[in-house]
């Protein structure tokens, strides 16, 4: 992350009546960073985004943009623009008029506006449709125009409020690539809000996982997925198996635990020191089956098998305990393991995580 700070949020809290949306939230966002706020509905991520934009005011705390306190600044005086989920384009205006609108309000001269509008529409590959109106466009095309309009004034920070949620799967995947390229090309700090873990993992430099109005963890996509700080993060980001375990010892970030399978293993831990009970998290793709089983090994019966194209997902019964596994399909025939079979099951202890329950 760039050491320069584009955004500084300090001890921000917000309540709506008796409902506390945010509880003393603090984090920094680096200049030129693609930063994502990820979490379920009601976790406070959109409230935070609206505070950055100036549409909401915290009950307490501080928000600084590029070193300047902005709580007393109205939205139009912050060098921040927002791309909304519904695009918010003016239906009676052409695309070039939509992109020019904000620049006209800033008092730019006609020649400068014309040049900037052409540059921005070209950047989002919409220059040939400049005279069309939003109603003549697809959802993905309207999203591109909304991005061009938001980027045109060269904001210091661009806020994106679940901008891809209305698009179909293939278009969302294509727009993720375009958004990341736009961020890199423009050098503008992007603050992206989503509940979609795949979007967050794919695009972000860093992710803040929010839950119950608090920041649960901040880190790179790899850190969030491979080293979750607690059970909430492990459960929300990706799929995982959870097992209650007895903690026997914790030393230097490792915990020795007794599993419900009757095996004692040592795995990386977070927040477990001093506890007698904890949760073992094992991602399905870390579980090996059949002749590939390594590390901690046992036997289980395949209860269910689901072919999903690139992967096959399994549900296994190990002495009355359910475990899920995923295997990549390397050939057209897929996986030869069938439902009903008893197979070897294994995972490397270093690939698991012992978490505070």
Question: pLDDT digits over 162-217, tens only?
Answer: 888 877 878 788 888 888 988 998 899 999 999 999 999 999 999 999 999 999 99
DSSP bridge partners of 14: 22
Task: State how beta strands 189-194 and 157-161 pair.
Answer: parallel
Question: pLDDT digits over 143-166, tens only?
Answer: 889 999 999 999 999 999 988 887
| The pLDDT of residue 3 | 63
Cβ within 8 Å of residue 45, ≥6 positions away:
37, 38, 39, 193, 210
Question: pLDDT digits over 88-129, tens only?
Answer: 889 999 999 999 999 998 899 999 999 999 999 998 889 999
Q: Per DSSP, which regions of 136-186 are E strands?
A: 157-161
| The pLDDT of residue 332 | 59
pLDDT at 2 over 80: no
Lowest average pLDDT, out of 51-60, 173-182, 212-221, 319-328, goes to 173-182
pLDDT at 313 over 90: yes
32 DSSP assignment: T
Count, in order, helices (H) and strands (E) of the chain: 8, 20
| The pLDDT of residue 249 | 96
pLDDT at 335 over 80: no
| The pLDDT of residue 172 | 82
pLDDT at 334 over 60: no
Per the prediction, the chain carries an average pLDDT of 92
Question: Two tokens at 343?
Answer: 């197979």
User: Do 194 and 49 touch, CB atoms closer than 8 A?
Assistant: no
Instruction: Give the strands of the sheet with 68-69, arranged side by side.
Output: 19-30, 5-16, 60-65, 68-69
Task: State how beta strands 214-219 and 206-211 pair.
Answer: antiparallel
Lowest average pLDDT, out of 125-139, 280-294, 333-347, goes to 333-347
R_g of the chain, CA atoms, integer Å: 24
């Amino acid at each position: 992350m760039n050491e320069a700070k584009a955004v500084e949020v300090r001890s921000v809290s917000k309540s709506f009546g008796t409902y506390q949306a945010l509880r003393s939230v603090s984090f920094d966002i680096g200049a030129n960073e693609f930063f994502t706020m990820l979490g379920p509905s009601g976790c406070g991520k959109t409230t935070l985004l609206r505070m950055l934009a100036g549409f909401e005011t915290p009950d307490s705390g501080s928000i600084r943009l590029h070193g300047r306190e902005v709580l007393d600044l109205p939205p139009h005086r912050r060098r921040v623009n927002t791309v909304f989920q519904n695009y918010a384009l003016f239906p009676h205006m052409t695309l070039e008029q939509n992109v020019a609108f904000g620049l006209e309000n800033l008092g730019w001269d006609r020649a400068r506006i014309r040049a900037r509008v052409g540059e921005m529409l070209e950047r989002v590959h919409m220059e040939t449709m400049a005279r069309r109106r939003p109603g003549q466009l697809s959802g993905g095309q309207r999203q591109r125009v909304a991005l061009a309009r938001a980027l045109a004034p060269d904001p210091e920070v661009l806020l994106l409020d679940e901008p891809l949620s209305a698009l179909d799967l293939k278009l969302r995947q294509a727009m993720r690539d375009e958004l990341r390229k736009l961020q890199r090309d423009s050098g503008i700090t992007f603050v992206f809000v989503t509940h979609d873990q795949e979007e967050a993992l794919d695009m972000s430099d860093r992710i803040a996982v929010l839950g119950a109005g608090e920041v649960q963890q901040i880190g790179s996509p790899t850190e969030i997925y491979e080293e979750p700080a607690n059970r909430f993060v492990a459960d929300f980001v990706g799929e995982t198996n959870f097992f209650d375990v007895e903690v026997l010892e914790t030393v230097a970030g490792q915990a020795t635990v007794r599993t419900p399978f009757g095996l004692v293993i040592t795995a990386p831990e977070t927040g477990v020191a001093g506890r007698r009970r904890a949760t073992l998290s094992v991602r399905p793709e870390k579980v090996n089956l059949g002749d590939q089983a390594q590390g901690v090994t046992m036997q289980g019966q395949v209860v269910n098998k689901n072919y999903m194209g690139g992967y096959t997902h399994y549900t296994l019964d190990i002495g009355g305990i359910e475990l899920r596994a995923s295997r990549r399909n390397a050939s057209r025939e897929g996986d030869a393991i069938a439902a009903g079979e008893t197979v070897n099951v294994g995972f490397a202890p270093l690939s698991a995580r012992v978490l505070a329950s």
